Structure 1
Amino acid sequence: MQMPRIVLDPGHGGRDPGAVGKRLREKDVNLQACLYLREALLRAGFQVLMTRDKDIERVPGVTDAVDLKARAMLANTNSADLYVSWHYDASVDENVHGVSVWIHPSQKDRTAYYKADLICHHISTATGQKHRGVYLGDFQVLRDTMMDAVLIEGGFITNALEEAKMSDAHFLQTQAEAVAVALCKIFDRPYVAPIMVAPKKPRVDDRVTVKVNGASLVQQGRLIEGKTYVPVRELAELLGCVIAWDYDTHTVSLTRGE
């Protein structure tokens, strides 16, 4: 049984930054999301090709139209089963937010529409983003591809809250895994979740031995956030002090006698 072949297209790249937010460039976020998605799809047994896997154009030094044609051609010549282009949107209205998926107008009410809707639903459900739905657009990568093709708009880089999320690797991985779940359903493949291993915290021995005139306290002190804490009553007794507790003022008094 031949495994499904997916072409992932991280939009823009190289001299083309795509949409630009306050701190992020779309091309960088697109690439990171697609790298996470490639990892998720490989776990599930898909064949995955990428139009780029670093910050370059597909064909450096050519016009945008030629570069986009080359991206579609990669999918066509390799008989891909699905073309997934990944982007993040922009708007003059900073309040606009949410995820959407685009298909070519010729694919309305066909299989590409239902695939796009399922992908959008899974991202929205996993991340809590607004579900903006499926849109129709005559984008070149959707027009020039010979198989079903979708273009994901994973959020608005011009929205402060969504841009902040895009800088979080966990958020991008959550989006990518959601798409992987949707594609596994589309191609009837078992989804394989990532193995999340919590980093081990180094064990720190916070015990502190306290000595007074060479004699160690029976109770050890503790080193907490750079400060040493010791049992005050035992310390006071070794120092020959009388200890008193004022309940009303929550005050400990050490008085050294003659």
Structure 2
Amino acid sequence: MTTPILIIDPGHGGTDPGAMGNGLREKDLTLQISTYQSARFHALGIPVVLTRTTDTSLTPSQRTKLVRDSGATYCISNHINSGGGEGVEAIYSIFAKDTLPKLLAQAVADCGQKIRKIYTKVGPGGKDYFFMHRDTGKVETIILEYGFIDHPVDAKKLRDNWKTYAEAVVKAFCGYIGVPYIPPAKPVEKVSIELNGSLLPVQGYLRDGVSWLPIRAVAEAVGATVEWNATTRQVKVNGQDLTESIENGTAYAPARELAAILALDVEWEQATKTVKMKKRSA
């Protein structure tokens, strides 16, 4: 396995729920945020691991050992605050610079959250106060508190915007380590296809207001000839070229363009997200 650049620590877990308030539990939110970030970093080609992937208990020594032994350069320890405050906080080691914590906190703030403070804290004997800084070795660890679970405004922000905050941290971290950032793909909205009053056993999808339909399935349902040129990766229907998009090995075309070639009338039913096509009236 490639040595990770980053280890993400979902704070608390198992028998330790962390902070609770307004119907939320810290351990659930931190795991939700962390697993999302892990998936996004993997998609961007950034080696990353997690201290926990399920609702399991970790002692402080177990948690810090996982960080130390990971081989990672950085650790983001995700947390949700409590105690009556409001806003995002970033806490870093007394032996580290504030560059990365400031960047991460500002990224969350740019999504509409307030910045409460970015700080470090000295413990007894001139050591780090927090064990996640004191006992994680050479790994640069940032404790990121996304908001206050017991503050009603923050709780609503956390419930509604956790994914936005998580993605902002992903983008900021990519910029910090110099890896190109690519936004997540927009969710594909499926559309049903009705042909001459009957639903086809396939679906199309909606992108930027345009319905795209599987070319071969629709064309062959009306007896049209479909040709595929493997060299040019171009589909022809009844000898005619059309705009196409290849998705997971299937060629799709805009519904109206495909309908025109097949001599079909087409309409869009918004309520059911259905493309309705029928033989063109004489």
TM-score by length of 1: 0.68
- Aligned counterpart, 2:118: 134
Equivalent position amino acid for 1:159 in 2: H
- Aligned counterpart, 1:39: 39
Question: Post-superposition shift, 1:106?
Answer: 3.0
Q: Which structure has greater strand proportion?
A: 2
How large is the RMSD of aligned CA atoms in angstroms?
A: 2.4
8 Å CA contact 2:146–2:158 kept in 1: the answer is no
Q: Distance in 1 between matches of 2:106 and 2:188?
A: 29
Q: Which one of 151, 166, 176 corresponds to residue 176 of structure 1? A: 166
After superposition, residues 107-118 of structure 1 pair within 5 angstroms as 107=96, 110=97, 113-118=98-103
Q: Distance in 1 between matches of 2:51 and 2:187?
A: 31
Question: Post-superposition shift, 1:199?
Answer: 2.0
8 Å CA contact 2:4–2:71 kept in 1: the answer is no
Matched, 1:99 2:88: yes
TM-score by length of 2: 0.62
- Aligned counterpart, 1:155: 147
Question: Post-superposition shift, 1:182?
Answer: 1.2
The DSSP-based 3-state class of the residue aligned with 2:190 is coil
When the two structures are aligned, how many residues end up with a matched partner? 190
Distance 1:203 1:33, change over 3 A: same
8 Å CA contact 1:7–1:49 kept in 2: the answer is yes
Q: Distance in 1 between matches of 2:82 and 2:119?
A: 15
Deviation digits for residues 8-41 of structure 1 (CA, Å, limit 9, x no counterpart): 1000000001000020111000100001111111
Question: Post-superposition shift, 1:197?
Answer: 2.3
Question: Post-superposition shift, 1:5?
Answer: 1.6
Q: Distance in 1 between matches of 2:192 and 2:153?
A: 34
Question: Post-superposition shift, 1:4?
Answer: 5.3
Distance 1:203 1:10, change over 3 A: same
8 Å CA contact 2:9–2:75 kept in 1: the answer is yes
After superposition, residues 179-194 of structure 1 pair within 5 angstroms as 179-194=169-184
Gaps of 5+ in 1: 59-66, 205-223, 226-258
Q: Distance in 2 between matches of 1:123 and 1:39?
A: 19
Deviation digits for residues 98-118 of structure 1 (CA, Å, limit 9, x no counterpart): 1111012233xx2xx110000
Q: Distance in 1 between matches of 2:180 and 2:72?
A: 20
- Aligned counterpart, 1:215: none
Equivalent position amino acid for 1:9 in 2: D
* Structure 1 residue ranges, 4+ long, deviating more than 3 angstroms after superposition: 200-204
Question: Post-superposition shift, 1:123?
Answer: 1.1
Deviation digits for residues 27-56 of structure 1 (CA, Å, limit 9, x no counterpart): 000100001111111122111111111111
Q: Distance in 1 between matches of 2:64 and 2:134?
A: 9
Q: Percent identity?
A: 32
The DSSP-based 3-state class of the residue aligned with 2:20 is coil
- For CA contacts below 8 A with separation 6 or more, give which structure has more relative contact order: 1
8 Å CA contact 1:37–1:177 kept in 2: the answer is yes
8 Å CA contact 1:3–1:46 kept in 2: the answer is no
Q: Distance in 1 between matches of 2:109 and 2:193?
A: 39
- Aligned counterpart, 1:76: 68
8 Å CA contact 1:101–1:151 kept in 2: the answer is yes
8 Å CA contact 1:40–1:176 kept in 2: the answer is no
- Aligned counterpart, 2:124: none
Q: Distance in 2 between matches of 1:159 and 1:181?
A: 27
Q: Distance in 2 between matches of 1:49 and 1:8?
A: 6
After superposition, residues 222-241 of structure 1 pair within 5 angstroms as none
- Aligned counterpart, 2:190: 200
The DSSP-based 3-state class of the residue aligned with 2:155 is helix
